């Protein structure tokens, strides 16, 4: 056995002896474990005679030693204090409070539990999170302060998971209250990035801020694990920037990026293993019955009247069937209608209240469809969020201060069913789409592909830089303000009206050019086919 192994076993014996003096409740277990370890050590470090005997049967002695060590390991794992904290051998010097931060060690003290889900999350906090925190402390500055907020967020989520193991799933309102601590920490992390845009480590802060929403997996169902991966991918755009900037300067930053990506990868694996379809609550399926629908319970059905069927005699039923079986004689008792009773021969008999006639159903004129719900008529809560590479802006009403910034070149801005609102897109993005919007305006810097208007009414756009294509489909009223860099733009329109292109002049004014809405088609006399030309406006 080499010197390192001997030294490790000696330190293990000293560790048990120190623990035996400090914790009285585990004296018996510690004493037994120390004796077993001492025996294992003596087996390896025995006399020369023992060594000679070992050489005669090395396989059996080695197997016995392995069994002893496995028993020692199993008993170590059953000790709660040894699971919660890893003791330091007394031979090693105590670290100074200045050189070693106290934050990573605060996360190592956990109460013992038998729940595998909680244990799995504690392993993440004790393992990958501690690596990330220690590397953040080594970098220092804003990265270290940012890491403190990240640690608080993971601790808040750990308490939430522990709560889920003790109760049934709460209502939606109560669930939002229970998630408030984690949500506040995520907001604090993102606000820290916004307040430190001039920081040297802005890419570090952005990498964390873009991917920290992965902790929101507890509110995602039925596939929370892919959500964690998506957030991890969103942050890797900035970790790649960190690697590009620091890989030749300081390897600590490279390890820092790997630690953060590994932390979220381990979180994804944890969610996939223990919460595949969503956070598991202890009392799932055992909660109270669902509440009655709004408006109270429906009234009970009316009570049938009491009828005494015993009074019906057989003779009454026989008389009924006898009348039915009369044949032609059944009409003998009917009175004959004379000519003076017939309304078609006596107009005066038709005077009186007219019979009821149902109103005819409303029908649209031929060639015209019934009106459909217009843009913005459907009232829903306004939405302004980023979903991966897509910015979603929906159901905004009367909001002139919509701003999209910090977008990437592969992002798309999608504006849906907005009314009386204005959108500003800063930077260069892939494209902008306005769908079913009314009286809205959009101003942007540069686009990679195009801007599209679909099912819109009274919309405007202004480009400050470059736009290759403008697409207009089923839109009434579209004003296009171009910049000097976008005079070569291509405008494609279909089923649209009231379209105008405004070209800048040298004096800061614009010249207006209407886009044709009417076309003239004539038969081609020289060859088969037709020729279509736009009808230019002369007004």
The per-residue pLDDT for 331 is 73
Whether residue 504 contacts residue 510, with contact meaning beta carbons closer than 8 Å, is answered with: yes
Q: Who has greater pLDDT, 143 or 292?
A: 143
Q: State residue 34's pLDDT score.
A: 59
Per-residue model confidence (pLDDT) at position 96: 36
pLDDT of 290 over the 60 cut: no
| Percent of the chain topping pLDDT 70 | 64
Tokens for 37, please give them.
């370890």
Q: How many whole angstroms separate alpha carbon 229 and alpha carbon 271? A: 11
d(CA 33, CA 78): 12
Q: Please check the confidence at residue 74 and state whether its pLDDT lies above 90.
A: no
pLDDT over 90 (residue 421):
yes
Fold agreement between 104-274 and 383-534: no
* Exposed/middle/buried for residue 200 (C-beta within 10 Å: 0-12, 13-18, 19+): exposed
Give strand pairing partners of 397. 419
Average pLDDT, the chain: 77
Q: Residue 33 has what pLDDT?
A: 60
Q: Name beta bridge partners: 462.
A: 443, 481
**H/E segment holding residue 229:** helix 224-246
Under 8 Å between Cβ of 395 and 378: yes
- Topology classification of domain 383-534: Pectate Lyase C-like (2.160.20)
Average pLDDT over residues 301-324: 54
pLDDT value, residue 286: 35
pLDDT tier for residue 366 given thresholds of 50, 70 and 90: low
Q: Is residue 121 scored above 70 in pLDDT?
A: yes
Provide the pairing of β-strand 497-504 with 510-514: antiparallel
pLDDT score, position 342: 77
Q: Which residues contact 216 (CB under 8 A, 6 or more apart)?
A: 182, 186, 227
List the structure tokens of 30. 């510690």
Domain ranges of the chain: 3-84, 104-274, 383-534
% of the chain exceeding 90 in pLDDT: 43
Condensed to tens digits (0 to 9), the pLDDT of residues 477-524 reads 999 999 999 999 999 999 999 999 999 987 778 899 999 988 888 887
pLDDT at 107: 41
191 pLDDT more than 80: yes
Helix (H, G, I), strand (E, B) or coil at 504: strand
Q: How far apart are CA 503 and CA 490, in angstroms?
A: 13
The predicted structure's pLDDT at residue 60? 65
Asked whether the predicted pLDDT for residue 394 surpasses 90, the reply is yes
Query: pLDDT confidence of 320, banded at 50, 70, 90?
Result: low
More confident residue, 47 or 426: 426
Burial class from Cβ neighbours inside 10 Å (0-12, 13-18, 19+) for residue 391 reads buried
Q: Looking at residues 439-453, what average pLDDT do you find?
A: 94
With a CB cutoff of 8 Å and minimum separation 6, the contacts of 94 are 88
Coil vs helix vs strand at 115: coil
Tell me if 48 sits within 8 A of 31, measured CB to CB.
Answer: no
CB 491 within 8 A of CB 450: no
**What integer pLDDT is reported at residue 317 of this predicted model?**
56
Beta bridge partners of 499: 478
In the CATH hierarchy, which fold is given to the domain comprising 104-274?
1.25.40
Average of per-residue pLDDT across 80-87: 39
Can you tell me the distance from the alpha carbon of 490 to that of 7, in angstroms, rounded to the nearest whole number? 78
């Amino acid at each position: 056995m080499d010197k390192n192994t001997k030294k490790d076993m000696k330190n293990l014996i000293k560790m048990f002896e120190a623990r035996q003096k400090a914790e009285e409740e585990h004296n018996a277990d510690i004493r037994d474990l120390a004796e077993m370890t001492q025996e294992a050590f003596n087996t390896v470090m025995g006399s020369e005679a023992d060594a000679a005997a070992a050489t005669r049967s090395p396989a059996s002695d080695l197997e016995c030693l392995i069994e002893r060590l496995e028993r020692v390991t199993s008993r170590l794992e059953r000790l709660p204090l040894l699971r919660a904290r890893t003791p330091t051998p007394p031979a090693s010097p105590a670290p100074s409070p200045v050189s070693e931060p106290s934050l990573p060690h605060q996360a190592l003290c956990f109460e013992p539990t038998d729940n595998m889900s909680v244990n799995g999350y504690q392993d993440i906090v004790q393992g990958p999170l501690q690596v990330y925190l220690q590397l953040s402390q080594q970098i220092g500055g804003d990265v270290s302060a940012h890491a403190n907020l990240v640690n608080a967020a993971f601790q808040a989520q750990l308490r939430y998971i522990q709560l889920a193991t003790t109760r049934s799933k709460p209502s939606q309102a109560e669930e939002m209250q229970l998630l408030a601590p984690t949500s506040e920490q995520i907001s604090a992390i993102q606000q820290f990035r916004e307040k430190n845009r001039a920081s040297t480590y802005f890419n570090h802060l952005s990498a964390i801020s873009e991917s920290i929403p992965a902790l929101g997996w507890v509110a995602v169902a039925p596939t929370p694990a892919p959500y964690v991966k998506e957030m991890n991918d969103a942050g890797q755009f900035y970790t790649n920037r960190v690697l590009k900037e620091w890989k030749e300067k300081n390897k600590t930053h490279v390890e820092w990026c790997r630690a953060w990506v590994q932390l979220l990868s381990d979180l994804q694996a944890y969610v996939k293993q223990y919460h595949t379809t969503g956070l598991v609550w202890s009392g799932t399926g055992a909660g109270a019955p669902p509440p009655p629908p709004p408006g109270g319970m429906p009234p009970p059905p009316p009570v049938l009247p009491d009828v005494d069927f015993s009074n019906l005699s057989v003779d009454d039923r026989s008389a009924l069937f006898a009348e039915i079986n009369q044949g032609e004689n059944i009409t003998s008792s009917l009175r004959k209608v004379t000519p003076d009773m017939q309304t078609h021969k006596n107009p005066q008999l038709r005077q009186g209240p007219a019979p009821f006639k149902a109103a005819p159903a409303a029908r649209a004129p031929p060639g015209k469809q019934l009106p459909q719900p217009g843009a913005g008529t459907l009232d829903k809560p306004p939405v302004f969020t980023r979903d991966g590479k897509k910015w979603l802006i929906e159901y905004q009403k009367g909001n002139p201060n919509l701003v999209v910034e910090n977008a990437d070149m592969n992002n798309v801005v999608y504006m849906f069913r907005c009314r009386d609102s204005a959108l500003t897109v800063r930077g260069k993005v892939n494209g902008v789409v306005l769908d079913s919007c009314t009286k809205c305006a959009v101003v942007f810097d540069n686009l990679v592909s195009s801007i599209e208007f679909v099912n819109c009414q009274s919309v405007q756009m202004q480009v400050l830089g470059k736009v290759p294509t403008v697409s207009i489909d089923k839109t009434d009223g579209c004003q296009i303000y171009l910049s000097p860099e976008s005079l070569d733009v291509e405008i494609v329109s279909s089923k649209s009206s009231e379209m105008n292109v405004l070209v800048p002049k040298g004096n800061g004014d614009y010249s207006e050019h209407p886009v044709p809405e009417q076309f003239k088609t004539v038969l081609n006399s020289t060859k088969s086919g037709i020729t279509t030309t736009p009808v230019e406006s002369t007004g």
